[in-house]
């Protein structure tokens, strides 16, 4: 029964993995830019929520309404200041330059977070934090269940945006073939800007959920970048629902391996799956 | 010999003369803090040049470099504490790192571009987490070794290793193998079509690169009195090597050397000047370099020279 | 309508066009012939704004297009069907066509143009929910032409629309072009199938090694000995 409980918790955190990966997948798929500072953006989102709760005294989940738009704005600013220059190069150079800028950004954001919030681990305490729903022998933490539901809702919203909004379709078209997108009259630079801003917004939302149900510290960036990358490689580019499922899968796989080999190895197993998938199926399990 | 080849040779000679001059430093300045500082620069030169071989010459951005640095440190430390002479222990560490790299390389080189980068990043993290789990205790030298500790030994070994890595890259750049690697960097498909054995060349580059990284790891193990075994596996060693190489000029002989010197100076200076903000400033400065000087210091100097010659 | 004068374009140090002059008038069908590597695709890419020419002028209804972004050139009424079709492979037929109407000039006429495309290629109407990657080559070419038509163009440029298609499909694509032209759209056609192209074109140009080496009415070019020898083979 302990195993079932562990798997359940894995599934719950898996939803956040999916959300974390969706933003990275969007940016990588559309701009062909690998933002290794994605985890740091998640970290910033977490602290944003932390601040909103501490200073304004609002409900942690309501802080999303603040963090999400602010993250979108941060995404716009980062694109204008940094990544907008990267996309002018050809694809090979783009990947290298984006790695470099990402490392620089990760370094700076990490230092900034240590300065503003110290290096301590923090998490948001909710008034209903201890509540659990019992189903048989399983106990489901209410906060984490809510987080999963919110993550799913956000992914669903993103899916609708990409399929039904005019610019959403333009973003997908740009991901498929940016030159063809230009030939249909799409301002590709604006599609890049929107995709990057949405990607950053999703990172902020993911960070909020991490800080509520779990914990954040300035140094979690790389870990979350890797989690997101693992999911992106598992799920392939192109489908946000597929990305969400990939996140759930990673959460389950981590829980299963922690049960089998012990807690410290949960990270390793995800990474091993990642490398194996990467080598066997360089375009992802569910990829096209 | 081409003009470019001559210039490369000139740089190699200049760097080696500079390193030879540094050999006199312990005699002139007895201060430990100066020697420790220069040691850090020398270690950084080796690390940056080693990364430069596979990323700069063969064009493969290896983000798992720390794994080989760490492995070199792990093997060398264990053998050395067990009684093996340090040079042999370091060689063994380098050998193990290279062997593992070749094993991994065959699979990893199926990946191209960004996928190679993230695949190797994951491999590095796998090794760090595993070592951290298995060897969680801090590694400290035995008291007898500590009392016999001489900084100058570490210093000269670092100097020799930096010279070896610069000489190795210079020899590689001038060789047919090195030219083949650069052909892969420019266009892998075209290089393969013209009969260049891409996988073989990439593996050669990886072997050389990880061998030097393993030696650098051995040096690290010889230098530090105590550290956590997973520390040399930390991804920041990879990122440091990457930053230094790109600041200086990737795919050139002297770029990583210049980058390493500037990087260490800058980081130490900023740390002294702005204790709290130094990493923030450093990150911002680095981004500025990438955006404003995309080819690093080497290309910036080249451009300045052309402007002056006009 | 479209006037190109002394156009020079290059990839790095390699010259692709060295002084091309030509024009396409309103309502015309103009064919551009030439061997592989003559610079035909380079010319079309320069007009569409995907490539910045080094020198020369591209004038469209009196305006210089050289500093206009590619997506804004579409707004001026120039559409291009690129070589290799370049569809949005992960999307359905209808999504591809709808994206063709992304430009502001095309949006008000989206419904009407969609009907027009389906009338022109009825098979696309049956396949509208299918992912384009699953279509045959000929059907994909129809989507590519249809997507360009959706931009509501005054001039339609096509880069080798018959490449890799069976003769029967080539004929139906080319017939569609005549049909489109009858609706008032000028057509600028790059085509390997010289016989067919010159039969339907009002005028033609011959491009070799980055220069225009011949021009004339379609029927005249078909009788031209150089054109016959170079492009129609000894048996023609």
pLDDT tens, position by position, A158-192: 999 999 999 999 999 999 999 999 999 999 999 99
Check residues A150 and B112 and name the one with the higher pLDDT.
Answer: A150
Closest-CA residue of C relative to A168 is: C99
Per-residue model confidence (pLDDT) at position B5: 65
C-chain CB neighbours of A185 within 8 Å are 71-72, 74-75, 102-106, 151
Per-residue model confidence (pLDDT) at position B3: 52
A-chain CB neighbours of C91 within 8 Å are 169, 172-173, 176
Does residue C236 carry a pLDDT above 50? no
CA-CA distance, B23 to B17, in Å (whole number)?
A: 10
Check residues B96 and B277 and name the one with the higher pLDDT.
Answer: B96
Residue A271 near residue B126, CB atoms below 8 Å: yes
Does residue A92 carry a pLDDT above 80? no
Helix, strand, or coil here: A120?
A: coil
With CB atoms and an 8 Å threshold, state whether B121 touches A229. yes
pLDDT tens, position by position, B174-189: 888 888 888 888 777 7
Does residue A103 carry a pLDDT above 80? yes
B-chain CB neighbours of A109 within 8 Å are 283
Domain boundaries along the sequence of chain A: 2-124+163-280
For chain A, the average pLDDT equals 90
C-chain CB neighbours of A169 within 8 Å are 91, 95, 98-99, 102
With CB atoms and an 8 Å threshold, state whether C88 touches A187. no
A-chain CB neighbours of B123 within 8 Å are 271, 275
pLDDT (average), residues B114-134: 88
Does residue B1 carry a pLDDT above 50? no
With CB atoms and an 8 Å threshold, state whether A186 touches C69. no
Residue A230 touches chain B, beta carbons under 8 Å: yes
Take residue C106 and report the two structure tokens written for it.
């095309």
CA-CA distance, A16 to A247, in Å (whole number)?
A: 7
With CB atoms and an 8 Å threshold, state whether B119 touches A109. no
pLDDT tens, position by position, B156-166: 999 999 999 99
With CB atoms and an 8 Å threshold, state whether A177 touches C151. no
> CB count, 10 Å around CB of B22?
18
Of B152, B145, B154, B138, the closest CA to residue B226 belongs to: B138
**Which of A268, A274, A282 has the CB atom closest to B129's CB atom?**
A268
pLDDT (average), residues B17-40: 87
pLDDT tens, position by position, B263-295: 999 888 888 887 777 778 888 888 888 888 777
Q: Write down the ipTM of this complex.
A: 0.91
Residue A111 touches chain B, beta carbons under 8 Å: yes
Measured at the CA of B32, the angle between CA B26 and CA B38, to 5 degrees, comes to 65
Closest-CA residue of A relative to C90 is: A176
A-chain CB neighbours of C95 within 8 Å are 169
Residue A288 touches chain C, beta carbons under 8 Å: yes
With CB atoms and an 8 Å threshold, state whether C79 touches A288. no
For chain B, the average pLDDT equals 88
Kindly report which listed range (A60-69, B190-199, C215-224) carries the lowest average pLDDT score. Answer: B190-199
Take residue B235 and report the two structure tokens written for it.
């991804």
pLDDT tens, position by position, A77-90: 999 999 998 888 77
Closest-CA residue of B relative to A229 is: B118
Cβ contacts of B286 within 8 Å, gap of 6 or more: A100, A103, A104, A107, B243, B247
Per-residue model confidence (pLDDT) at position C227: 85
Residue B292 touches chain A, beta carbons under 8 Å: no
Per-residue model confidence (pLDDT) at position A93: 74
Residue A106 touches chain B, beta carbons under 8 Å: yes
With CB atoms and an 8 Å threshold, state whether C103 touches A185. yes
Residue A85 touches chain B, beta carbons under 8 Å: yes
In the block, tokens 């081409």 appear at B2
pTM to 2 decimals? Answer: 0.88
Residue A282 touches chain B, beta carbons under 8 Å: yes
Take residue A169 and report the two structure tokens written for it.
């379709």
CA-CA distance, A178 to A191, in Å (whole number)?
A: 10
Residue C149 touches chain A, beta carbons under 8 Å: no
CA-CA distance, C205 to B152, in Å (whole number)?
A: 78
Per-residue model confidence (pLDDT) at position C163: 86
Does residue B12 carry a pLDDT above 90? no
Residue C201 touches chain A, beta carbons under 8 Å: no
Angle between helices B113-134 and B235-248 (to 10 degrees): 140
Domain boundaries along the sequence of chain B: 3-237
pLDDT (average), residues C153-178: 91
- Report B:109-168 residues touching A (Cβ under 8 A): 110-115, 117-119, 121-123, 125-126, 129-130, 132-133
Q: How far is A248 from chain C (nearest CA, A)?
A: 24
With CB atoms and an 8 Å threshold, state whether A176 touches C88. yes
Q: How far is A161 from chain C (nearest CA, A)?
A: 14
B-chain CB neighbours of A104 within 8 Å are 243, 283-284, 286-287, 290
Does residue A231 carry a pLDDT above 80? yes
Chains C and B touch (3+ CB pairs under 8 A): no
With CB atoms and an 8 Å threshold, state whether B276 touches A115. yes
With CB atoms and an 8 Å threshold, state whether A275 touches B279. no
In the block, tokens 């910033």 appear at A44
**Which of B63, B107, B283 has the CB atom closest to A111's CB atom?**
B283
With CB atoms and an 8 Å threshold, state whether A170 touches C102. yes
Helix, strand, or coil here: A59?
A: coil
C-chain CB neighbours of A176 within 8 Å are 87-91
Cβ contacts of C54 within 8 Å, gap of 6 or more: C8, C9, C10
pLDDT tens, position by position, B206-230: 999 999 999 999 999 999 989 999 9
With CB atoms and an 8 Å threshold, state whether C48 touches A183. yes
**Which of B112, B114, B287 has the CB atom closest to A101's CB atom?**
B287
Predicted confidence band of residue C116 (pLDDT cuts 50, 70, 90): very high
With CB atoms and an 8 Å threshold, state whether A179 touches C50. yes
Residue A39 has φ and ψ, to the nearest 5°, of: -60, -35
SS (H, E, C) chain C: CEEEEEEEEEECCEEEEEEEEEEECCCCEEEEECCCCCCHHHHHHHHHCCCCCCEEEEEECCEECCCCCHHHHHHCCEEEECCCCCCCCCCEHHHHHHHHCCCCCCHHHHHHHHHHHHHHCHHHHHCCCCEHHHCCHHHHHHHHHHHHHHCCCCEEEEECCCCCCCHHHHHHHHHHHHHHHHCCCEEEEECCCHHHHHHHCCEEEEEECCEEEEEEEHHHHHHCHHHHHHHHCCCC
Does residue A283 carry a pLDDT above 70? no
Closest-CA residue of B relative to A88 is: B291
Per-residue model confidence (pLDDT) at position C75: 95
Predicted confidence band of residue A288 (pLDDT cuts 50, 70, 90): very low
Per-residue model confidence (pLDDT) at position A110: 92
Residue C83 touches chain A, beta carbons under 8 Å: no
Per-residue model confidence (pLDDT) at position A263: 74
Residue C132 touches chain A, beta carbons under 8 Å: no
pLDDT tens, position by position, B66-86: 999 999 999 999 999 999 999
DSSP A82-114: IIHHHTTS-HHHHHHHHHHHHHHHHHHHHHHHH
């Amino acid at each position: 029964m302990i195993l079932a409980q562990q798997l359940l918790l894995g599934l719950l955190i898996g939803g956040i993995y999916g959300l974390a990966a969706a933003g990275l997948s969007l940016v990588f798929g559309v701009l062909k830019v690998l933002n290794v500072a994605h985890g740091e953006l998640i970290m910033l989102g977490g602290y944003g929520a932390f601040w909103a709760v501490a200073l304004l005294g609002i409900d942690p989940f309501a802080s999303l309404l603040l963090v999400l738009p602010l993250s979108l704005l941060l995404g716009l600013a980062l694109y204008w200041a940094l990544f907008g220059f990267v996309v002018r190069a050809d694809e090979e150079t783009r990947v290298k330059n984006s790695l470099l800028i990402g490392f620089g950004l990760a370094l700076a954001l990490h230092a900034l977070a240590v300065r503003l919030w110290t290096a301590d681990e923090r998490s948001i305490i909710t008034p209903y934090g201890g509540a659990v729903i019992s189903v048989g022998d399983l106990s489901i933490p209410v906060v984490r269940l809510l987080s999963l539901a919110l993550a799913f809702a956000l992914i669903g919203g993103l899916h609708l945006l990409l399929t039904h909004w005019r610019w959403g379709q333009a973003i997908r078209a740009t991901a498929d073939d940016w030159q063809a997108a230009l030939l249909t009259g799409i301002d590709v630079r604006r599609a890049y800007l929107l995709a990057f801003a949405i990607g950053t917004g999703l990172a902020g939302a993911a960070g909020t959920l991490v800080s509520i149900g779990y914990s954040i510290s300035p140094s979690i960036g790389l870990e979350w970048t890797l989690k997101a990358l693992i999911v992106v490689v598992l799920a392939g580019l192109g489908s946000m629902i597929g990305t969400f499922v990939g996140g759930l899968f990673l959460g389950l796989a981590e829980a299963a391996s922690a049960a089998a080999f012990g807690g410290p190895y949960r990270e390793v197993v995800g990474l091993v799956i990642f490398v194996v998938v990467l080598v066997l199926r360089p375009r992802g399990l569910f990829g096209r | 010999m081409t003009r470019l080849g001559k210039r490369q040779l000139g740089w190699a000679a200049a760097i080696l003369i500079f390193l030879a001059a540094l050999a006199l430093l312990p005699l002139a300045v007895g201060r430990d803090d100066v020697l420790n500082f220069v040691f850090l620069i020398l270690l950084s030169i080796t690390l940056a040049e080693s990364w430069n071989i596979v990323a700069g010459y063969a064009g493969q951005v290896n983000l798992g470099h720390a794994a080989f640095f760490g492995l070199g440190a792990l093997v060398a430390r264990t053998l050395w504490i067990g009684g093996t002479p340090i040079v042999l222990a370091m060689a063994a560490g380098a050998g193990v790192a290279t062997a593992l790299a070749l094993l991994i390389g065959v699979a990893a080189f199926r990946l191209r571009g960004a996928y190679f980068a993230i695949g190797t990043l994951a491999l590095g993290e796998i090794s760090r987490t595993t070592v951290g789990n298995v060897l969680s205790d801090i590694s400290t030298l035995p008291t007898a070794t500590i009392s016999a500790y001489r900084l100058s030994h570490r210093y000269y070994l670092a100097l020799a290793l930096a010279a070896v890595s610069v000489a190795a890259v210079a020899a590689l750049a001038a060789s047919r193998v090195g030219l083949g690697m650069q052909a892969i960097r420019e266009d892998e498909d075209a290089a393969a079509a013209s009969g260049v054995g891409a996988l073989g060349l990439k593996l050669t580059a990886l072997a050389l690169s990880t061998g030097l990284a393993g030696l650098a790891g051995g040096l690290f193990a010889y230098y530090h009195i105590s550290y956590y075994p997973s520390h040399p596996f930390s991804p920041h060693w990879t990122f440091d090597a990457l930053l230094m190489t790109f600041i200086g000029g990737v795919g050139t002989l002297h770029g990583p050397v210049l980058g390493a010197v500037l990087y260490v100076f800058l980081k130490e200076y900023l740390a002294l000047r702005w204790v709290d903000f130094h990493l923030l400033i450093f990150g911002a400065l680095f981004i500025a370099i990438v955006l404003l000087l995309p080819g690093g210091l080497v290309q910036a100097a080249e451009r300045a020279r052309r402007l002056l010659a006009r | 309508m479209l006037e190109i004068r002394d156009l020079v374009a290059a990839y790095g140090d390699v010259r692709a066009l060295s002084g091309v002059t030509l024009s396409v008038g309103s309502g015309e069908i103009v064919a551009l012939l030439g061997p592989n590597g003559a610079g035909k695709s380079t010319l079309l890419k320069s007009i569409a704004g995907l490539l910045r020419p080094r020198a020369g002028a591209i004038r469209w209804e009196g305006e210089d297009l050289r500093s206009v972004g590619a997506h804004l050139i579409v707004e001026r009424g120039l559409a291009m069907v690129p070589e290799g079709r370049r569809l949005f492979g992960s999307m359905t037929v209808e999504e591809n066509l709808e994206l063709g109407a992304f430009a502001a000039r095309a949006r008000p006429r989206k419904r009407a143009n969609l009907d027009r495309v389906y009338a022109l290629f009825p098979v696309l109407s049956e396949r509208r929910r299918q992912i384009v990657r699953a279509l045959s080559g000929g059907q994909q070419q129809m989507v590519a032409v249809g997507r360009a038509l959706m931009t509501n163009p005054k001039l339609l440029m096509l880069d080798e629309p018959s490449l890799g298609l069976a003769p029967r499909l080539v004929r139906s694509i080319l017939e569609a072009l005549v049909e489109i032209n009858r609706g008032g759209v000028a057509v600028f056609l790059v085509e390997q199938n010289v016989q067919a192209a010159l039969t339907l074109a009002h005028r033609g140009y011959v491009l070799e090694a980055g220069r225009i080496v011949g021009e004339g009415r379609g029927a005249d070019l078909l009788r031209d000995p150089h054109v016959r020898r170079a492009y129609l083979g000894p048996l023609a």
